[in-house]
Each structure stands twice: as C-alpha cells, then as structure tokens.
Amino acid sequence: MDFIDWIVLALVQAFAEVLPIGSSAQIAVLNAWAGLISVGPIDAASTPALGLGVRIGLALGAAAYFWEDVGDMIGGLVRMAKGKRDPGARLAFQLFAATLPSIAFALAVDQVWGTAWQGPLVVAWATFVIGFLLFFFDRTCMTVKRVEHAGYSDALLLGIAQALALVPGVGRIAASAAMARMLGYERQDTARFSFLISIPVLIASCAWQIAQTLRAGESVPPIPTAIGFVLTFIVTLILLSMLMNWLRRRSFMPFAIYRMLIGINLLVIAYGVL
C-alpha cells in the first residue's frame, strides 16, 4: 500500500468507527464491489500499524471531546485517594470494569479461536444483526437514564457489548449503543457512555498490539501509525460533534437502517446471488 492508500483506509476506518456503522462492514462491502468491477481490494490486515494509529486517534479524540468527563474522573480519583467519595471516581472504576470483558475476549480469541471464525458471512450477518438490534431497541426502549445513573452492572454489559466488536462486522460503538438503548439510556448519553467506555478498551488494545510487536522483535512503523492517528483524531472530533448534535433531537435510525442495508448487500454477495 502507498501513501494515498493509507489515507483512504484511515479515513474509512475513522468514519466507520466514530459513526455506529462498523469499519469491517465498510471495508468488506467496498472490497466486494471492487471485486465485481475489477478494482484492487482494500486490505486493512496488511497495515496493522495504520490500525494502531486509528485506535490511538479514536481513544485520544474521544478523550479530548469528552474532556469534562475525563477531568472529573481524574479529579475524582485524586479526591478518593484523600478519603472522599466522588462520582468521578465511581465512573472511572465503572470504565475499568467495562474493560475487563474486552481483555478476556481478546485473550480467548488469540489463544483459542485465532482467525478461524473470521469470514465474509460472519461480517455480513454481524452487520445486519447489530443493525437490526440497534433499530429495534432505539424504537422500543425508554429514554430515561443518563451516565450519572449507571451502575456497575450496566458498565459490565456495555463492556461485553464492546468486547463483541472483536467479531468482524459488529462495530464497537454500534454494539454498545444497542446495549445502552436496551438499558434505557437517552440517546446522547448512549453515545457518551459508549465512547467513554471505548477509551480504556482502545488503550488496552493498543498496548496489547505494541507489546506483541515488540515481543516478536519488530518495530512499529512510524509513518502509517502517524497517518492513522492524525487523520482519525481530527475526524473523531468533527464527527463526534456532529453525532452528538444529531442525537439531541433525532435517533439512531439512519445508522441502523444503513447497517441493515449493508448487511443485506454483503449477504447477497456472500451467498453468490451476484
């Protein structure tokens, strides 16, 4: 891949990871149609350093956008160390608890399943099913809870939803948004909680990839990592602002419908109809 390919792939992943549509599905459908019209494929697996930069950009971009929550958590931990109970510290511990399912699932995938379960049908069905669940829960569930009302059980359930993002096609934000709407969170707080939980999950994922790379005696290529980070950081700040403004008066319906349409498209292609 050359410089332009890195930019295109970073932008595709950044847009798809911030909006609840999932990057695996977008890359899969682009590759499916590229194959039908004889255009070269997009191969995200060949540039793990770019993916690393994208995840770093997502984590820091979300932290920068929700800087007040991050500041409250840091201040809360400081106050807790002085013997004072604080809601900021409570939220910080909830995010830590939500990270545990992702770490456990990642270890299980790495040690037990490997990549055997990854394939076009998995991406297609995961894209459609999560889109349907987001559609269903967004239309039928209450909107009464905010992040401040969250308990540890909610944080763990959202962490489990984000852990499922290791399955190609699920999508980290889409899965946690569907879970949060099922639990009755308001739409803006659904996005807020989903992105806050994604920060430690993404940091843990990046640390794992860097450790594995160094253990193998390799180095992290700086150029694709920097491209992924810079582009994703900028896109995250812009799209998060647009998404939160959208959810102030509207719903997740367009994203859910889009996911279902993409899923159907991939299923049609995977089953050889086209």
31: pLDDT confidence band, cut at 50, 70 and 90?
A: confident
* Model pLDDT for residues 98-130, shown as the tens digit of each residue: 888 887 877 776 555 555 566 788 889 999 999
> What is the predicted pLDDT for the residue at 241?
96
> What is the predicted pLDDT for the residue at 250?
94
> What is the predicted pLDDT for the residue at 61?
97
Domain boundaries, given as residue ranges, for the chain = 3-12+21-37+47-270
Is pLDDT larger for residue 142 or for residue 35?
142
Question: Six-digit token pair at 149?
Answer: 């009302």
> What is the predicted pLDDT for the residue at 233?
97
> What is the predicted pLDDT for the residue at 113?
55
- From residue 141, give the alpha-carbon distance in Å to each of 130, 145, 185, 191: 16, 11, 9, 15
> What is the predicted pLDDT for the residue at 40?
44
Is pLDDT larger for residue 61 or for residue 272?
61
Q: Rg for the chain (alpha carbons), in Å?
A: 18
Per-residue b or e along 37-57, where b marks 16 or more CB atoms closer than 10 Å to that residue's CB: eeeeebebeebbbbbbbbbbb
Per-residue b or e along 58-86, where b marks 16 or more CB atoms closer than 10 Å to that residue's CB: bbbbbbebbeebbebbeebeeebeeeeeb
| Across 226-251, average pLDDT | 96
> What is the predicted pLDDT for the residue at 112?
58
Mean pLDDT of the chain: 87
Maximum Cα interatomic distance, the chain, rounded to a whole number of Å: 64
Helix (H, G, I), strand (E, B), or coil: what is residue 221?
A: coil
**Nearest in space to 127 (alpha carbons), one of 169, 64, 82:** 169
pLDDT of residue 4 exceeding 50, the answer is yes
38: pLDDT confidence band, cut at 50, 70 and 90?
A: very low
> What is the predicted pLDDT for the residue at 39?
38
* Model pLDDT for residues 188-235, shown as the tens digit of each residue: 999 999 999 999 989 988 998 898 888 888 888 889 999 999 999 999
* Model pLDDT for residues 125-170, shown as the tens digit of each residue: 999 999 999 999 999 998 889 998 889 999 999 989 988 888 888 9
